[in-house]
Chains A and B, each alone.
Chain A
């Protein structure tokens, strides 16, 4: 019995131990899968015609003629949608119509003066036109259908008047006929509601198709519609469906419910002239936006518009490479020489002990304290109060120094004694032995350490926060003193794009895309290191 209990405990222990490893692997997957999966959508997606337009306008890519053809084709399809929309919005937003009526009335006066009509006739004609205009304006302002039709009837009574043919007044009368059509379908008591909903619809149309032709927007992010199919789907959904709060079935609480805008019963545009537009947009969306599978490899090269709304992470990658490579230039010679000294030359005295304690301390200093030190020392005294690439990479170099020292020390120690003894037996001195035999043999190990610290330096954010990384800024100018300029970096960019930048929050694919780039960079470096090491261990075992 007792043995059974002990056995059970033993099994439980085994299960729990293996569970913990499974848990760890699961956590890694739980992290990697969404980050890389969603990040991939920044590179692989279905790009619409707006995407190609954006690439052409901002980066000069793609051929002008095919793009123009494509835009013309989509514009034809879009025109139908806009026609329905404009027609309906004229009935709701009558200010426009009223303005047009006033303009026509003024044109009429100009026409008459241009024709040199005698004064009496002029006054009579103007009076008549004014009457027509006033009727029209009253019709536009009114919300009572009977009243509107009364006014419109009054206007249309002049229809048969031959003397008005070819003048602006005729256009006024045509407007009345037009407005009669609209007024028949619109429920004027709901005009305010319609106006509000119409604004939402117009906004979504803008998000889908971008600004109407002829309208110029100052910001790049407002100049293009939905560039990606997932964004199209999102805005299409927001266009067609409206959210409303209704009482739940038990009548206790309000629940959110989604209704189609053109739903015959509950939709806000039920039975109006606008209702067919929603179905039309849905049906023609592949014509109006022309999605096409896109492999956007330029994401890793291109610069971005403010807030990473469009474009890629090119400058960030460049900045990270500059920072890390420069940091390695500082740290590798120092680290390898230190390691060589510690292994080959140093005895075990108190000075060496202090050095070892200091290296361990250096490894334990929190990264944010490195940031503070970089600010207080490198920025202040080394780079003349300038937050720049040099100060940031020096801080990073200090951070990875202990990593390089430890890895190199281990690699040099791992070289078998026999190598050294053989070299010395051939008459080589201590230095020559090290430089020609030990160092090459330890080379792969040192290289592994360097690659790992490269990946560490690429991922660290806190040390460069105050020492030279910026969220927005120009690409380092290689013609000038680029080492005295601040730079963007992937790691700091990842932070800024997730919690700092309000614009970036509207483009989650770009947020994930940048993180994916950083993770991929680090993972690749690590995999290279792992491969080198496994080869090396095989080689060492072989001897």
Chain B
């Protein structure tokens, strides 16, 4: 040990003994090294950008043969069939139909239902964690939320199929255990951690002063939270809800396993005990069955494009609200 320090001192001393001015080659070498290193680092970072573009490019590229097969009129016909028809029979040999409306509606159903459960519970839990719970309890709850977020979606899917579905069928008397309600329940469990952590960050970012001012005016805690803190943090909370929504709409395994995989819109519309088939579930289910470079193959990529664009827009909206929220907080 002593030896090494002695060595280091020696080299360091040797370095200090040299004149400070660099020779031209040394200067150039240093300049090039910095520039090259800098651009290498930049290129590495740029991989993320390239990846996003590649994802968009390749998913859209595989969807194009479905959309632009014939002329323009056929394009419109296909688009209108894809987005408005209820008949999803891509495997019909003679007369295949690609009406994906049922699939979009099913995704909407599952997402909205899961948010109906996850948002109130998540918000209340976030309020509890940021304002009500003592420090020690918060330290216990954090890992619980993390574990809830960490459990793989396929494990939740297995839970839905093997525990929840039989329970629904036997105890609740549903005709099928894998249905909208089942998928939504599990999805809400998966969206909860996202909503809670983002909403709690938003609530904590709102300063003490605002709360204290409210208490000073005689408001109770509930009034302070609902009338003062929540409105102040609304941008952050909207961002939290949108992030939870993205989690729910993009989730595949749970929905694939728990929603029952039958392409239909529940009728009557409030009957949640019926099976549906979502965008993600359709892709996962049928990609293994279709032959490559056929229309059923391309149409799955078309659904993927819809999914991608949808989450992209949601992402942009949440970014917008997040940045607005940051501005608000800085403003205080």
A residues near B (Cβ < 8 Å) are 6-7, 9-10, 12-14, 16-21, 23-25, 27-28, 31, 34-35, 333-334, 337-338, 340-342, 345-346, 354-355, 357-362, 364-373, 375-377, 398, 401-402, 405, 431, 452, 455-456, 458-462, 465-466, 491-492, 494-495, 498-499, 508, 511-512, 515, 518-519, 522-523, 525-526, 530
Contact = CB atoms under 8 A, between A and B. Distances in A.
Given A9-B220, A14-B222, A361-B52, A376 B61 contact: yes
10 contacts: A10-B220, A13-B225, A21-B125, A28-B148, A334-B47, A341-B45, A361-B312, A372-B62, A461-B152, A530-B146
Contacts of A499: 161, 257
A137 to B, nearest CB: 53
Contacts of B262: none
B215 to A, nearest CB: 12
B315 interface: yes
Nearest to B145: A24
B205 interface: no
B233 interface: no
A466 B47 contact: no
A364 B312 contact: yes
Interface residues of B, number: 80
Q: Which of A24, A452, A456 has the most CB of B within 10 A?
A: A24
B261 to A, nearest CB: 9
Interface core residue of B38, B122, B151, B301 (most chain A CB under 10 Å) = B151
Given A25-B144, A402-B48, A368 B283 contact: yes
Nearest to B196: A24
Contacts of B246: 364, 366
B59 interface: yes
Interface in B196-254: 196, 220-223, 225-226, 246, 249-253
Given A21-B133, A361-B315, A460-B152, 4 more contacts: A364-B246, A459-B151, A499-B161, A508-B162
Interface stretch (B94-102, B264-272, B303-311): B303-311
B146 A376 contact: no
B299 interface: no
Nearest to A12: B222
Nearest to A452: B150
Contact of A373 (B58, B127, B141, B319): B58
Interface of B: 37-38, 41-42, 44-49, 51-52, 54-55, 58-59, 61-62, 120-122, 124-125, 127-129, 132-133, 141, 143-148, 150-159, 161-163, 189, 192, 196, 220-223, 225-226, 246, 249-253, 256-257, 280, 283-284, 287-288, 300-301, 304, 307-308, 311-312, 314-315, 319
A365 B305 CA distance: 11
Contact of A18 (B48, B128, B150, B249): B128
B221 A10 contact: yes
* Majority secondary structure, A binding face: helix
A6 B223 contact: yes
A394 B163 CA distance: 34
B154 A367 contact: no
B128 A522 contact: no
A14 B157 CA distance: 33
Contact of A366 (B52, B159, B196, B307): B307
B143 A530 contact: yes
Nearest to A363: B315
B41 A340 contact: yes
Contact of B45 (A35, A342, A377, A508): A342
A369 B161 contact: no
A220 B141 CA distance: 47
A462 B280 contact: yes
Given A21-B129, A372-B59, A372-B301, A518 B154 contact: yes
Contacts of A460: 152-153
Contacts of B128: 17-18, 20-21
B42 A341 contact: yes
B220 A35 contact: no
A18 B127 CA distance: 9
A519 B155 contact: yes
A369 to B, nearest CB: 5
- Which 10 A/B pairs are nearest by Cβ-Cβ distance? A459-B152, A366-B250, A13-B222, A17-B128, A20-B124, A10-B220, A462-B252, A364-B315, A338-B45, A341-B41
A264 B124 CA distance: 62
Contacts of A342: 45
B253 A495 contact: yes
B162 A512 contact: yes
A459 B153 contact: yes
B248 to A, nearest CB: 10
Given A366-B252, A494-B158, A24 B222 contact: no
A24 B226 CA distance: 22
Contacts of B284: 368, 371, 462, 465
B163 A34 contact: yes
A376 B141 CA distance: 41
A378 to B, nearest CB: 9
A338 B47 contact: yes
Contacts of B52: 358, 361-362, 365
A526 B44 contact: no
Contact of A376 (B157, B189, B301, B312): B301
A410 to B, nearest CB: 13
A385 to B, nearest CB: 10
A80 B201 CA distance: 72
Contacts of A459: 150-155
B328 to A, nearest CB: 20
Given A13-B225, A372-B59, A462 B253 contact: yes
Nearest to B52: A358
